[in-house]
Structure formats: C-alpha cells, structure tokens
Structure 1
Amino acid sequence: MATDNLARLGSAMRNLPSQAEPSELRDLVVYLAQRATYEAVRSAAMIALQSPRGDEAIREFFAVGWGQAQERAQLDQQMHRHIVARVLATHSPEYSPQVVASARAAERGTDAERAEYVRSGFRVAQERDQATRDADGQAAAALRDADRCYVRGLREVTGAQVRLAATYATREGATDSDIIQFFHFSWASGARLDTEDFRLTAEAQEVRQVAAIERLTREARAAQKAAESAGDAAKEAMRRQAADAWGRVATGGAPAVGSWQQAQQVADAQASFWGQVYRDAVAQSSMNWRPVMKSANAARTDWRQDTLHAQQQVSFWRKLIAEAKEREEQLRPVSG
C-alpha cells in the first residue's frame, strides 16, 4: 500500500504546476525526506532541503533529482537481490543457520527490508552464528595446525578475492575464530566473487569485441556490395578496397583469439585448483572442511563452464577470421 501511495505521489510530482508555491514544494520534499520508501530518494530530498540554493534546489529536485534518485534506488534494489542470492548460495543452514534464515526472510521481504539486510542484517546474523560456534567450541576443537597452514598457503595461489580473504584470516592478530569463519563463509564468498569478477570482465570484453567487429564487418560488406555493382572501369579498384576491408576484419579479430585463449587458461587453472580443493575437503574428517565441499564443487563447475565458453569463443573468432581472409583472397585483384 505504501508503494502504491508513493507511486501516486510520484505521478503527482511530475505534474506539479510550475507556479506551485515554494512552501508547498518544500513541505512535500520534507515528507519525502522522512517517508519515501527508497533511501536514495530520502537522501536526495534531504540534500535539496539543505542546499544553499534554496527554492532553486527544491524545484530542481522535482524536475530532475527525484527521477534520478528513483533510478538509483531501482539499481540498488537489483543489487540487494543479487547480494541476498549470493548469501544463500554461499552459506548452508547447517553451519550458518542465522545467516540463511535472515537471508530467506529478506528474499521474501520488501525492498526496504532487503536494503536493511544488506546494510546491517547480514552482519548481525553472521556475528550471531560466529558467537554460537565460538560458544559451542566444536569448530575450534576440530581446527588443526594443518588447516591453518592450508589457509596461509591460499594467500599465494588462488583468485584475488580468495587471496584477500585468506590474508585477512591469517593476518597478524587473527584468531582461530577468523580461520573458522574463513572455512565456513569467507572462502566460498571469495570464490563466488572471483567467478563474478572474471565473468564481468569477460562480458565487457566480449561486448567491446563484438561491437568493433560488427562495425568492421558492416563496412566490409558495404564495400563488397559496391564492388560487385561497380562498372568495369572502377571494379578493380573497388574490389581492392573491399579486400582491404575484409582484411581489417581478419586483423581486428586476431586480438580476440589471444584474449579468449588467455581467459581459457585462467578458467582451466581455476577449475583444476577447485577440483583439488574439493578432493582435499572430501579427504578431511574435520567439521570445518564440510562446508568447503559444496562451495568447492560449485566453484569447479562454474570454472569448467567458463573454460567451455572461452573455448567456444576461440573457435568463433578463428572461424570469423578464416572467413574474412577467404573473402579477402576472393576479392583481391590478381594484379594487386
């Protein structure tokens, strides 16, 4: 109901008459600063109220600021849903019952409840689970020197986020509770972040590469079409131009092969690493290693998928380059 009211309020705001009294507008901004559903809107309203530009800032809020704040809020809500989903993917109810229960509640809750969970709820639930483990003492009793050495070794050999988590867990002044937290959560979270970082980088790379090659391909097709319809006097020169254009397609695709080969090597190495972690976890009897089995197996599966995708991309770009070179050779005048 509150969301419906705010939606109607937003519609009314967009249709405010230009001659509305500044005091009326200010009252509405005060209301939004106090009662708007989204924190981004409340913050934008408060900034407008505190601006030294006075009524100008208030009117600007309705003209531009509110809409921008709404967009930011919607992006925030998408990110909050993503974070809650990540928490559920990296925690088990057996070892992190408070975290899982609160994340499930946030998943079913409102946007405001998810925002609050991301802001503080997750940390509070995590601290409660850790306090329970510390009070129980079983996880600490199961911790061995070999486990501590294993975590220290991860500071050098894995993805950046796992390295950071391992470094923090074994920092100067760290306690066994930090090591246990690493086994029960930080390792899986770092693994998930490393996978996401890799995929985001690959996705951005892929979009740039495809956009660039699409432009070159359009130019080459247009040049080829022009050459095919050219008169005899201009045909040879235009065929040469079309051949050059297809040559640029082949040249432009070459870096993509190298970058995807490198991505394949990274993904393959990570898949092998997580396969070893999974085997190590299976071989342990310690309760601290049991949460690692699920996360290691999931990480291995993710990286295998990334390896396959990289292989497919290498094949795609090699085929594209081969086809471009073939067209270049077909169009290149014999005398050229």
Structure 2
Amino acid sequence: MRSSDEAVLREFVLRGFAKARQRANEFNARNRDFAQRVYDTYSAAYSPLVHATAGNVLKGSSADWDWFVRTGFAEAKAQDNAAREADEQHKQQIAQADRDFVRLLSTADPGEQVRQAAEYALRNGGLDADIREFFASGWMAAAGLDVELFRLRTQDAGMYLHATISQLIIDAQEAEKVALESSGEAAVKARAVAAGAWADTKQKADAATKSWDDERKLCLEQARYWQTVLERAGTQADPVWQSIGAAADKQRGTWTTESAFAEGQAQHWGGVSTDAQAGYDRMTGEH
C-alpha cells in the first residue's frame, strides 16, 4: 500500500468513520421520527394498515424504519385508500358543504401544511376520493407536521437567542467589572463601554421577548382554531368526524401547551431585559 493510501485510510479511521457513523445515526433517527409521526397522526379507525405498519416498524430495526420511509408507508397508504373507496356501505359521501369546508381550510387554516394539504385535495382533476383521504388522514397528518415544524423552528431560534444573549450578558458583566475597578478618566470611558454593552443586551432581550410573545399568540390562535374544529365535529353525523374530533382535542391540548412554553420564554427574556436596564442605569447613574 502506498504511503498516500495509508494516510487516507488513517484519516478515515480517525475522523471519517466517526463522521459516517454520526450521519448514519442521524439518518436512522429521522426515519424513526417519521414512523412515529405517521403512527401518531394516521388513526387506526381510518388508516388501519398505515397505523399498524408504523406501529410494527417502530418495534423493529433501523432497516425496518428505512423500508417504511422508502416504500412501506406509501404501500400501506395506497391499500388503506383502496379499501376505503371499496367500502360502499361506510364510505363518506362528499357533499358541496364538505368541499366548501376544505376550501376554507385551504385559505384560512393557521397551519401552512394544512393549507397545502387542503389545496392538494381540491386540485384540478381531483376526485371525491381525494377529499375523503383528506378527512380520513391527510388533514391530521398535515396538522402534525405543522406542530413539528413549529417546534423545530422555535427550538433553533431559542438556541440562537440563548447563545447570543448569554454572551452579551457575560460581556456586559465583564465591562461593568472593569468600570468599577477603574478610576478617573478611565472609569468614565469604561462606564460608557459597559452602559453600551448593557444597552445591547436589553435590545436583544426585548426583541426575544417580542418574538416569543408573537409565538404565544400564534399558538393561542391554533388552540382556538382546533376548539372550533372540535365543536364542529360534535355536530357532524358522519363517523369520520368522531376521529377528527378526537384528533382536534389532542391538537388543541398540544398548542395550549406550546403557548404556555412560549409565554414562559417571553417572561424569561422580559426578566433579562429588566436586569439589563438595571445594569445600564448603574453605569449611567440613572434611576
């Protein structure tokens, strides 16, 4: 083996293998998360094969998760759809009111994924079967994705805010320490630097407070929306709405919990803003 080949092999053993394993673990985790989301959002009542297959896959190996993502989910979904359409006795009859409701969701639903799913169900060339699939599984699957995307987005934003503002606090505290240990003209300059650092911290904390308060309002809008869906389900005779009602109640609870978390984050950053203002006042002599 040439020395260059040995170097490449050594590099792979030392670093490449670890990175490859990390990528494989992340890939497997995404596949399992997908199977879990499908299991949670496709009900046993109206998507029995999808629900059962996802449940079985979750008990299996990474190879099972990969199969489910690649082909298993689509195959089970197609069979559920075919069985639903073949069941003439229990098949949901799509009235104009149902289409109007889906059209309303396509424009007014607070969740982007639900709006897109509703638009797809109403696409040109679409059939009653597409509307039935939306009510039976597509609606709640899209709603679950809206929750997941919200959590990913706010988690990323939250991590960025914590990292950024925490460093600003450290910088401001260090600048204030220097100011307190200085005297004369140096102290005046150091106080100005510390005051500016605390002002920057407050500005970022205020922005974080507003951002999380906006998220809180979004969550409350979602919770109120799902309450209206739950109430509508109580007035519908078609059995599919029983499943929708149960899912709506779960969604309402989920968004209520998310709103409480967002409120807590807004309060946290509001407290940081108050502390930063106090630091600014100490350095400027304002009260």
Kindly report which structure 2 residues correspond to 1:49-128, keeping only aligned pairs within 5 A, or say none: 67-128=18-79
Question: How far apart in 1 are the matches of 2:230 and 2:60?
Answer: 34
Question: How far apart in 1 are the matches of 2:283 and 2:22?
Answer: 50
Which of 1 and 2 has higher RCO (CA within 8 Å, sep 6+)?
2
Partner secondary structure for residue 320 of structure 1: helix
Question: How far apart in 2 are the matches of 1:119 and 1:139?
Answer: 31
CA contact (8 A) 1:166 1:187 kept: yes
Change (3 A) 1:270 1:241: same
The letter of the residue matching 1:82 is: D
Cα deviations across residues 244-286 of structure 1 (Å, max 9, x unaligned)?
2212211222211221222122111111111111111122110
1:312 matched residue in structure 2: 264
Kindly report which structure 2 residues correspond to 1:236-255, keeping only aligned pairs within 5 A, or say none: 236-255=188-207
2:275 matched residue in structure 1: 323
2:88 matched residue in structure 1: 137
Question: How far apart in 1 are the matches of 2:168 and 2:120?
Answer: 47
Greater shift after overlay, 226-235 or 172-181? 226-235
Change (3 A) 1:141 1:249: closer
Does residue 153 of structure 1 match 2:104? yes
Change (3 A) 1:249 1:64: closer
CA contact (8 A) 2:46 2:240 kept: no
The letter of the residue matching 1:149 is: D
Kindly report which structure 2 residues correspond to 1:175-214, keeping only aligned pairs within 5 A, or say none: 175-214=127-166
Identity of aligned residues (%): 32
Question: How far apart in 2 are the matches of 1:242 and 1:57?
Answer: 50
Question: How far apart in 1 are the matches of 2:51 and 2:133?
Answer: 15
2:230 matched residue in structure 1: 278
Partner secondary structure for residue 313 of structure 1: helix
TM-score (norm 2): 0.90
Cα deviations across residues 156-177 of structure 1 (Å, max 9, x unaligned)?
0111110111011111111111
The letter of the residue matching 1:202 is: T
Give the aligned length: 284
CA contact (8 A) 2:213 2:266 kept: yes
Kindly report which structure 2 residues correspond to 1:37-52, keeping only aligned pairs within 5 A, or say none: none
Change (3 A) 1:315 1:59: closer
Of residues 169, 173, 197, the one that matches 2:121 is: 169
CA contact (8 A) 2:178 2:190 kept: yes
Question: How far apart in 2 are the matches of 1:290 and 1:309?
Answer: 29
Question: How far apart in 2 are the matches of 1:107 and 1:80?
Answer: 10
The letter of the residue matching 2:127 is: T
Change (3 A) 1:267 1:141: closer
Question: How far apart in 1 are the matches of 2:92 and 2:275?
Answer: 63
CA contact (8 A) 1:183 1:291 kept: no
2:167 matched residue in structure 1: 215
The letter of the residue matching 1:92 is: S
CA contact (8 A) 2:46 2:137 kept: no
Partner secondary structure for residue 140 of structure 1: coil
Give 1:58 shift. Answer: 9.2
Change (3 A) 1:141 1:304: closer
What are the ranges of 5 or more consecutive residues in structure 2 without an aligned counterpart?
none
| RMSD, aligned CA | 2.5
Question: How far apart in 1 are the matches of 2:30 and 2:89?
Answer: 35
CA contact (8 A) 2:199 2:280 kept: yes
Q: Which has the larger radius of gyration?
A: 1
Question: How far apart in 2 are the matches of 1:247 and 1:70?
Answer: 45
Cα deviations across residues 168-198 of structure 1 (Å, max 9, x unaligned)?
1111111111111111111011101111111
Change (3 A) 1:213 1:141: closer
